[in-house]
Amino acid sequence: MGFANWYDAHILPRIIRCGCSQGQIMKRRSNVVPLASGDVFELGCGGGLNQEFYNTAAITRYCGIDPHDGLLESARQRACDRGWDHEIVTGFGENIPFPDNAFDSAVCTFTLCSVQDQHQVISELRRILKPGGKLLFLEHGRAPDLSVARWQNRIEPVWKRLAGGCHLTRTIASAISDGGFVISTLDQEYMPNTPRFAGWMEWGVAQKNGA
């Protein structure tokens, strides 16, 4: 096993768990995730960090994918502990292994930054949602301030190598809107006590537009 593969298998999952479980991030998860209901799909469910925030009484089924096998074991165990009807599998957002119009809610937190094709992933999320289904999102991305965005452009090439392909410069709400969703709720801010180049957050609720 080369260093890159070893890093991805053993070090990267720990970095993701640590970085994505900070107090301010968990606080924002607690505002978004409980809005999920019905048959729920979660993109990037590895580690199970969102599971404590779901309203279990509102969920009829829970499904999710993640490309990191090392993170899925924890997610499956947490789902079992909650007694959910669940299906958690290895997969990529560009080709979600579930049928059209299958879910009432989709949850996407700190995932669009690291997918290969953001536009295709958003299209897939729209495909698997029922008409009128809701996409709940919490993501970091391109800052609105030009000076911060310039630093993001400079830092991103190194950042991606260390953080599993995570991008700093991707737009969030506009990309979701362009992908066939109508955003009904949107909050935006720099996360406190975080370097601004990595701290611009957007979260909210979007409905699938059309059939």
Q: For 125-156, write each residue's pLDDT tens digit.
A: 999 999 999 999 999 999 999 999 999 999 99
What is the CB neighbour count within 10 angstroms for residue 179?
20
What pTM value is reported for the model? 0.89
Across residues 59-81, what is the average pLDDT? 90
Q: How confident is the model at residue 68 (pLDDT cuts 50, 70, 90)?
A: confident
Could you tell me the domains of the chain? 3-208 (3.40.50.150)
Q: Stretch 146-167: mean pLDDT, rounded? A: 92
- How do residues 26-63 score in pLDDT, each as one tens digit? 899 999 999 999 999 999 998 888 999 999 999 999 99
In what order do the strands lie in the sheet containing 38-43? 86-90, 59-66, 38-43, 103-109, 129-140, 200-208, 181-190
